Structure formats: structure tokens, C-alpha cells
Structure 1
Amino acid sequence: MSMLVAKNWLLARLYEQDQVIVDCRFQLGKPEVGRQAYDAGHIPGAVYLDLEADLSGPVQAHGGRHPLPELTALEERLSRAGIGPQTRVVAYDDQGGMYAARLWWLLRYAGHEQVYVLSEGFSAWEAAGYPVNAEQQVVIPQTFTAQPQRGMWADVSEVREASAAGAHGALLVDSREAKRYIGEEEPIDARAGHIPSAVNRFWKEVLDERGAWKSEAELREHFADIIQEAEEGRDVVVYCGSGVSACPNVLALHHLGYTNVKLYPGSWSDWISYEENPIAVGN
């Protein structure tokens, strides 16, 4: 089954008992906005998980702006949301799937395979006339036990090795906007540029002009050169600013069948926290 599901697919299964729908809406810099949007109206039965309170750990000297949560904390939050070992999880947001993909990645990293992302956001669901309500879901807690998949991510030492090895190491993919990648503009982090040897694939390019995820054929065309490298056995390591907007690129490549694709969770904000790490600018 695809890792992306259409809104009519979810509508047909809206009230199935083995399913948890998760609203992941969030706005950087305004962390209260996502919860407020959920409280105002959401897909019936959905629970809310917050990027910073639920899907990230506390910020420290290293690890980036949205560090991975400790596994015990993640287990507790997922259990409290009603997610157990047999639960089918469908995540959505209204930001192109960036935050929903973060939950998808965390669940896959924790060993849970039944997790999917809605291929269009909440606005498309609402515009289609599909049901929306503001009711607070009564959640029956489950017991989620993580089985961490170490092959899902790369740490800073692995990224250093890949960067130094260039074409002979893992392929690094920067998911940020081109202006940030080349170092022309950096609105968030303290230093501009990219990790040496990385190529650029802005994450929003997985979406079509309507803001929905592109078809498999379109995604294959978009990632053609990266797919070629992956098919030749080269590992792919994807990063962004803080390990969130890289997740749609990771999801897209896994969706196409490429499992040798990893996330660098700390991403650029972790990379620049080490003064000795080199920085490249330009293309």
C-alpha cells in the first residue's frame, strides 16, 4: 500500500476502530496556532500532536532546533494518543505535509509501519465538503513500544564522512529553499550555506500546483538523478534546517521504494553547532 492516501480513501474509513487520525498542523514561530486551528475544527476523531511539545525533544547545545524526542517520551506521547502496535495511523496538516511527514518518519523510526500521510491538507478536505467538527476525541490510551530502526537516520559523524568522501560516500540532499542552500539568505539559522558535497532538492517540489503530493511518475522524474544513485547502491542522507522539512523528501523516496534513504535529524542547525564543520556556499 502507498504511504500517501487520498482524502476519499480516508473518508471511506473515517470511523474504523483500528485507526488513529493525527492532526499535525503547526506554524513555526507561532506554536499556539496549530492547536488553535485544531480546536476550531478538525477531521472527526482526530487527535492533535504538536511538533515541538510532542514530536521533538528539548533543544540543547547540539542536535538542532527540533531534536528527536527521547524514545521513552515518544512512547508515552504515542500511547496517550491511542496508538498501539496494531493501530493504523493517518497524519495530516495544512502545510504541504511537512509536519505530518515528521510524524510518519518518527513512527517508522520507532518500528511502526502502518502510518500514512494524507496527500492533501486539511483545507482541501474542508473545501471538498467532507465532515469537520470541533469535538475533543475521547482517547483510550494504548501501549506503544518503540523498536528503533537505526538504519533510518544518520548522525553528524556519518554526515561528516559522507561530505568528505564526496561522490564516494553517501549522497547528501539539502531540502531547503535554493536561496538558503547557496547561502544567499538565511532567515532562521546563525550561519548560511550548505554541507559540502550536498545537492539541493527543495521539499515543496514534491507538491503539485494545488498543494497536493505529486503522482509517483512525477516524483520519479523529480528525483531521477537521486534515484539513479540509490539504485546503484549509494546511500542517501536527507537534511533541512532542523530535521522537519526533510521528512517529505525522505517519505517520497521511501514511497517510491528506496529504503536506503536516511534522515539527518539535527540537519543544518546541528551541523553549524560544531565550529569545526565546513560550510559551502554557491551551487
Structure 2
Amino acid sequence: MAYETLIAVDALKDMLASGSDVLVFDCEFELGAPDKGAEIYAKGHIPGARYAHLDEDLASPPDGENGRHPLPARVALVAWLRSQGLRKQQQVVAYDSNGGAWAARLWWLLRWLGHAPVAVLDGGKPAWMDAGLPLETGSPQPSASGDFEPGEPLVPTPVNAADVLANIETQDARVLDARDPSRFAGNPNPLDPVAGHIPGARNHFFRDNLGPDGRFRPADELAEAFTAVLGDEPAILQCGSGVTACHNALAMAVAGLPAGRLYPGSWSEWIADPARPVATGSE
């Protein structure tokens, strides 16, 4: 059985125990402390997990105009995945300790490369630990390079700033902002040199995809929540830097809704050009 959205702790435990062909990635990260995720990983991670660094592995270097976490070049991402041992059609599981906020980025990137069997561990590392399952230390290395080859994307083509600007007039799609409501409304925040949101956008905070236990809400609840803000409009997914927008993409996939198009540059790219319009307020 292939997992393409979420995988439960018990299912991953059974796969690892049976020696199933699964590659696990720890995506631990902390904004403002980019080295801390690797430090946490080294102190304890799911056995066999490789570390995926958001800045170094799951993004390309920003140039001041393309947002904080630009998409990596496809060729560079493929090379890194092979170096981690990824093979064709191998099941991938990504996790973190932040409700899937960072793991969802790897989920989206692999689907962008045409790799279907990739899932986020529901509840992440906290759920694994709550189940009394072991962690290991150190940094396991692959025994050999993988033979992964990219295919046709399984996600819609991403949009750029020009597309989003044009959409303000055409309203062909609804921009859905995954940031918290305070940032969306325009309240001061150290992550946002310019506060506010893209005109016409709606807000769906990515953490609202999760229940009190840190696991994703049931599919019907997610579908109802997204439909309430999108109606039947297609979505453009954005956030601060194109990362937690992938969490909304994952939640929409869990809900069985049509996939939205990611705006990778997101708010951090949008505000790099002062000519681009900015709105404030909760609507």
C-alpha cells in the first residue's frame, strides 16, 4: 500500500519493523535559528531518518527579490534526493515537530517532481514519542545513491508574482494565505518588513488544519473549512515564504479538494517590490 497524503504512527512503525522499503526524512526547523533543527535531529530522530534542512535542501538561496525560501532548482533537488538514497517508487515519509509545517514542503516538492508515494507523518515526532516508540541519535548515511528519476508534476504549475498581480484584476482564482490571522490583518511582526496581505486574499491559517492532538482534522471537516473560504473558486496558495502554504495544499488533498497552485515567493517576495499593492484588515 502506498501512502500519498498522511501516514499514521502505527503504519510507519509496522513498515520499519517489517523492513519495508521506506525512506524517512526529519524536517525539523526553526525560523530565526536555522541550525537548531539539525541539532534537535542529532539528539534524537525516528530510526533511519535522514535530515532535510529547509534552507539548504528544500529551498534555493534567496536573492532579496524572490522570497525567503525560493523553490530549489529541480536538478539540484533530484541530485540531493539521490544522495539520500531515494529510489524509484520508494515510499517516502516526512515529519517534524511542528504539525507538519516543514514536512509538508518536502511532500509538495516530491509531488512536484512526480513522485507519488510520499506522505507526512500525522502528528509528527510528538505522536511517535507519545506512542512510546524509540528515537536514535547520530546521522545515518545511505549505503548507496538512489536511482530516483523525476517525472511529470503531480501538482499544478506554480504561479509567480506577475500571475498573482494579474489575478487581482481578473479574479480567476482566490488567493489563500496560510499565515496566522494577525499577520494577515497587518499587525506588526518581525517576519514581515511590510505588514498586510495581497489584495483580495482570504485567510486560512495552516494550524487550523490540525486538531488539539496535533493531527490533521478529518477529511470532511477540512473540506468544510476550505469550502467556507474558497467556495468553488480555484486557489492560489501562499504564506510568508511558500512553506506553510504547502500545509494547506496537503490538507486540501486530504479533503479530496482540487489542488491549488502554489505561489512559492509568497508574501516575502510580494513585498520586495514596493509597487505591488498591499491590503490590511481581516477581510
Q: TM-score range by the shorter chain?
A: over 0.9
Q: Figure out how many residues of one structure are paired with residues of the other and give that number.
A: 277
What is the Cα-based RMSD across aligned positions, in Å? Answer: 1.6
> 1-side partners of 2:90 and 2:229: how far apart?
33
State whether residues 242 and 270 of structure 1, in contact with CA within 8 Å, keep that contact through their aligned partners in structure 2: yes
Q: Percent identity?
A: 39
Residues 179-190 of structure 1 mapped to structure 2, 5 A cutoff: 179-190=182-193
> 2-side partners of 1:12 and 1:122: how far apart?
16
* 1:155 pairs with 2:157: no
2:257 is matched with 258
- Listed as ranges, the gaps of 5+ residues in structure 2 are none
- Secondary structure in structure 2 of the residue aligned to 1:223: helix
- Secondary structure in structure 2 of the residue aligned to 1:237: strand
State whether residues 18 and 86 of structure 1, in contact with CA within 8 Å, keep that contact through their aligned partners in structure 2: no
1:144 is matched with 148
- Secondary structure in structure 1 of the residue aligned to 2:137: coil
2:106 to 103, 108, 128: 103
TM-score, normalising length: structure 2: 0.93
1:175 to 174, 178, 202: 178
Residues 215-230 of structure 1 mapped to structure 2, 5 A cutoff: 215-226=218-229, 228-229=231-232
1:11 is matched with 13
1:200 is matched with 203
> 1-side partners of 2:117 and 2:15: how far apart?
14
TM-score, normalising length: structure 1: 0.93
- Listed as ranges, the gaps of 5+ residues in structure 1 are none
State whether residues 2 and 255 of structure 1, in contact with CA within 8 Å, keep that contact through their aligned partners in structure 2: no
State whether residues 95 and 121 of structure 1, in contact with CA within 8 Å, keep that contact through their aligned partners in structure 2: yes
2:75 is matched with 72
> 2-side partners of 1:85 and 1:101: how far apart?
20
Letter in structure 1 aligned against 2:169: A
- Secondary structure in structure 2 of the residue aligned to 1:162: helix
2:137 to 128, 131, 134: 134
> 2-side partners of 1:96 and 1:73: how far apart?
27
- 1:221 deviates by 2.3
> 2-side partners of 1:138 and 1:63: how far apart?
32
